Structure 1
Amino acid sequence: MEWFVAEDYSLGRLLVTEGLAAIYLVAFLGAVHQFRPLVGSDGMMPIPRFLRAVPFARAPSVFHFHYSDRFFAAVAWTGAGLALATLLGATQFMPLAACMLVWLVLWILYLSIVNVSQIWYSFGWESLLLEAGFLAIFLGNSSVGPPILVLIAVRWLLFRLEFGAGLIKMRGDKCWRDLTCLYYHHETQPMPGPLSWYFHRMPKRLHRLEVLGNHFAQLVMPFGLFAPQPVAAIAAAVMIITQLWLVASGNFSWLNWITIVLGLSVIPDSVFEMVVPVSLPEGSSSAPLYFVVLVVAVTALVVVLSYWPIRNMISHGQRMNASFNSWHLVNTYGAFGSVTKVRYEVIVEGTSDSAITAQSEWKEYEFKGKPGDVNRRPRQFAPYHLRLDWLFWFIPISPGYADPWFPAFVERLLRNDRDTLKLLRHNPFPDAPPQHVRARLYRYRFTTWKERRETGAWWKREPV
């Protein structure tokens, strides 16, 4: 069945599966380290309470059959172990059916976590990992040649990811059309990185070029993915370079990295071998009948489910990130349709004084990723996702994002909850919990070159 195999894409397939395994590993480890204070039995938004209110059909998950914090930890550690084994190449030497089973289990376990973790897992990159992880089940391993239908489905996913993001920008904030959005975005993005200050301080003409390059990568290049080679590889390379620029300029969880991984599937082995002298066997051109049937069936499923994302993309009321089914298959994507022009930060403080007076000493809680101390340089965390820090960014934009988790967060600070404090960089009350906690709103901006030289500070802030 020569029609079934995509010649010259064995290395591309390997890079995709290895890359997805690495992202799965990061995602599962993030769940291990953060779930207890966020969604555990005593968390801010407990999973048991969610399970009582939401049926399996609306949120498919193994946790509908049983939940305990120990079981959640077992699920997350199992996912991390399988992802690590895959990353180390174990599935490449398994029988094809066993390899597919490993990828299926990875998908089921992460789907189970996403579907019950509520607002903490409500971002587009969760659906993106699930959709890409589902397709990886049918990419096969070294025992078979890369199935061309699945590789086309991967390109279709990459097209929707990039083109959808481009459309949402052109339909959204006016600054994307007049090329001024990046006058602000590097400073006001959810979680700046160590180089964001420098990106923000680039000349405005370079910011306009950044926006033009973004529009070219997201609105023009996606159509090249379905062109003959080398056009498709060039289109993918442009997207990869653009995503690496975004990796350097901020922290966006694994959104950029998974886009890069998907782009690698478009580049033929002959191009990789020009850069790195590595070659792989193409795999057998004859695939088992069950594998062929499954690949054809999944391709048909993708075609049918694509109706909803296509309708969304051509709609004037385009949704930014959405799943049209509870299994997170064939979703729609987009990011930053609007750009905030001013950065506000919620700063949480506590005091040991039992009675609050004008002389009360308030000590500030320091978070791992979100801005706080003006002298602290932003850190690089992506592809790891700091879920608490990320949600804090939304509160000044729409206070509704703080309900119901923020009051629960404050209550845990008032009792020095150990698991909650692990999410923070610094607890100013190590010996005894504070008597009172308050939240203050500040306006933050990056310092100028002059202010940076004179004070050493990365931020300047004013109370609001």
Structure 2
Amino acid sequence: MEWWTDVLTAEDYEVGRQIVQRGVAAVYLVAFLSAVAQFPALLGEKGLLPVPAFLERAGGRACPSLFHRRYSDRLLLAVAWAGTAVSALLVVGLPQAGPPWVPLVAFLVIWWLYTSIVNVGQTFYGFGWESLLLEAGFLVAFLGSDEVAPPFLVLLMIRYLVFRLEFGAGMIKMRGDRSWRDLTALYYHHETQPMPNPASRFFHLLPKPLHRIEVAGNHVTQLAVPFLLFAPQPVAGFAALVMILTQGWLVVSGNFAWLNTLTIILAFAAVPDSFYAAVIPTVDPAGSYQPTPLWFTIVVVLAMLLLAYLSRQALANLFARHQLMNASFNRWHLGNAYGAFGSVTKVRYEVIVEGTVDEVGPGARWLEYEFKGKPGDPSRMPRQFAPYHLRLDWMMWFLALGSERGWFTPFLVKLLQADPLILKLLRKDPFDGARPRYVRARIFLYRFSTRAEKRATGLWWIREPQGVLVHPASLRAEVS
């Protein structure tokens, strides 16, 4: 065995490598399928924010993308389906069965394909977990194949990514909303989070002392535990398990796309094989590895040095007075700054979109468009969608907070046109594909029903009208 194999490999992390490789590939699979289903309606040639118009405005300043020179919906679908196919192969482990260059190329292919999508995705792809997925995919590309032992440097850099993700989230909370510091944030968060799930109401109704314990536990997990990822085993492994447990709590209590799922997957890079053997004694993942090729070791070292260099700004950002949240410092989305919910919304507003086939007046019958994930019908139980990302529903949450970014007026126009691509993104079109005469948008204050209210009415939500965001408008007049 060569000296570089002794220093740079970690033979006791085979299970962790399998979980990380296949898990990250599975998230890419979900992301590409999301693009197939949603991108043409949101960003396609006839979408709400068409990519061709965006590229024309950006000109030479456009970020790297396969679509930089030419975009078409057909090309987008070809890219997304190709990414889906390669991701599926990685999930089942076929490329990993070959020499180390095969999964290296496969992961770099899906990283580049998804980078091409994100870089033209505008506000609909402006989420921190997009950059997290890209950085994770690039990193995991260098984990090698089943033929060679897992590279220790890559596992270490994955832990560093988890550290930046968790510690960044902890610091942005401490620097942000006072409710995180006085331990009251979860008095509100389960109810006001972007997209509650079936268990969110249960968590919201827990006793307030328990909410304070939750927040305190979150601070410990995000501000102290991440440093232990770099400690010797078994400390690093137990630190990872603590993070996996707390991230699982977030999966159960909300819909945050693949943010929590991907964090859980990456944390397994710090869990050694001995942990699995302690639970299931028959587990013996260690195999007879072939010597790691010198070329692969050189590539791994150079790639990790590059990532360390690119992440220097993100590291400094963790300790900066004016910390940035979910920021990319380069066009490749490598070495990013992360963080979530630096501020907590205390009340929940929802924008409810309605249409009518009648003339506007006291007798007009307005019918409500229903979204798949965002709260609407007060009697409807919230659904679980994560790790799938409902992009339109998330943007409706931001809209209720006052952030529109140019997509909502085109959305209302599409409803007036009964655009089939947009209507497919909704749970219910009250007009069954026919065109309404008018649409409008009203604002409601939402809160979870109490236990007594739920027993009496069967409602999950109690809502009160707060005003009008968009007055009745039709295609005959400008929507305003």
TM-score (norm 1): 0.98
Determine the structure 1 residue equivalent to 2:477.
none
Match of 1:458 among 447, 457, 460: 460
Match of 2:416 among 414, 417, 433: 414
Match of 1:251 among 252, 255, 266: 255
The question of 1:307 aligning with 2:309 is answered no
Letter matched to residue 292 of structure 1: T
Deviations 1:204-226 (A, max 9, x none): 00000100110011001001000
Distance 1:432 1:7 in 2: 62
Contact 2:107 2:138 in 1 (8 A): yes
Deviations 1:115-144 (A, max 9, x none): 001000000000000000000111101111
Contact 1:2 1:285 in 2 (8 A): no
Distance 1:91 1:283 in 2: 18
Determine the structure 1 residue equivalent to 2:68.
64
Deviations 1:400-435 (A, max 9, x none): x32311000000000110000000000001152100
Distance 2:27 2:63 in 1: 23
Please report how far the alpha carbon of residue 57 of structure 1 lies from its aligned counterpart in structure 2 after TM superposition: 5.7
Letter matched to residue 231 of structure 2: A
Determine the structure 1 residue equivalent to 2:374.
370
Distance 2:369 2:11 in 1: 56
Determine the structure 1 residue equivalent to 2:178.
174
Determine the structure 2 residue equivalent to 1:405.
407
Contact 2:147 2:290 in 1 (8 A): no
Determine the structure 1 residue equivalent to 2:395.
391
Distance 1:395 1:72 in 2: 27
Contact 1:142 1:283 in 2 (8 A): no
Greater RCO, 1 or 2 (C-alpha within 8 Å, sep 6+): 1
Distance 1:162 1:461 in 2: 35
Letter matched to residue 276 of structure 2: F
Q: How many residue pairs get matched?
A: 461
Distance 2:323 2:11 in 1: 37
Distance 2:433 2:36 in 1: 27
Distance 2:405 2:162 in 1: 34
Distance 1:196 1:230 in 2: 34
Determine the structure 1 residue equivalent to 2:438.
436
Contact 2:370 2:426 in 1 (8 A): yes
Distance 1:160 1:95 in 2: 31
Contact 1:58 1:326 in 2 (8 A): no
Distance 2:163 2:157 in 1: 10
Structure 2 spans left out of the alignment, 5+ residues: 467-480
Match of 2:302 among 297, 300, 313: 297
Distance 1:58 1:283, change over 3 A: farther
Determine the structure 2 residue equivalent to 1:446.
448
Determine the structure 1 residue equivalent to 2:31.
27
Distance 1:431 1:253, change over 3 A: closer
Please give the residue correspondences for 1:110-125 in structure 2 after superposition, counting only pairs within 5 Å.
110-125=114-129
Contact 2:12 2:286 in 1 (8 A): no
Please give the residue correspondences for 1:31-42 in structure 2 after superposition, counting only pairs within 5 Å.
31-42=35-46
Distance 1:212 1:285, change over 3 A: farther
Letter matched to residue 305 of structure 1: L
Q: CA RMSD in A?
A: 1.1
Determine the structure 1 residue equivalent to 2:55.
51
Determine the structure 1 residue equivalent to 2:472.
none
Contact 2:229 2:236 in 1 (8 A): yes
Distance 1:297 1:370, change over 3 A: same
Distance 1:56 1:147 in 2: 38
Structure 1 spans left out of the alignment, 5+ residues: none
Match of 1:108 among 103, 108, 112: 112
Distance 1:431 1:280, change over 3 A: closer
Identity over the aligned pairs, expressed in percent? 56
Determine the structure 2 residue equivalent to 1:427.
429
The question of 1:129 aligning with 2:139 is answered no
Determine the structure 1 residue equivalent to 2:475.
none
Deviations 1:178-235 (A, max 9, x none): 0000000000000000000000000000000100110011001001000011110111
The question of 1:218 aligning with 2:222 is answered yes
Letter matched to residue 84 of structure 2: A
Distance 1:435 1:183 in 2: 42
Determine the structure 2 residue equivalent to 1:17.
21
Contact 1:190 1:390 in 2 (8 A): yes
Distance 1:98 1:259 in 2: 25
The question of 1:316 aligning with 2:318 is answered no
Please report how far the alpha carbon of residue 285 of structure 1 lies from its aligned counterpart in structure 2 after TM superposition: 6.0
Letter matched to residue 411 of structure 2: F
Contact 2:62 2:68 in 1 (8 A): no
Please report how far the alpha carbon of residue 282 of structure 1 lies from its aligned counterpart in structure 2 after TM superposition: 4.3
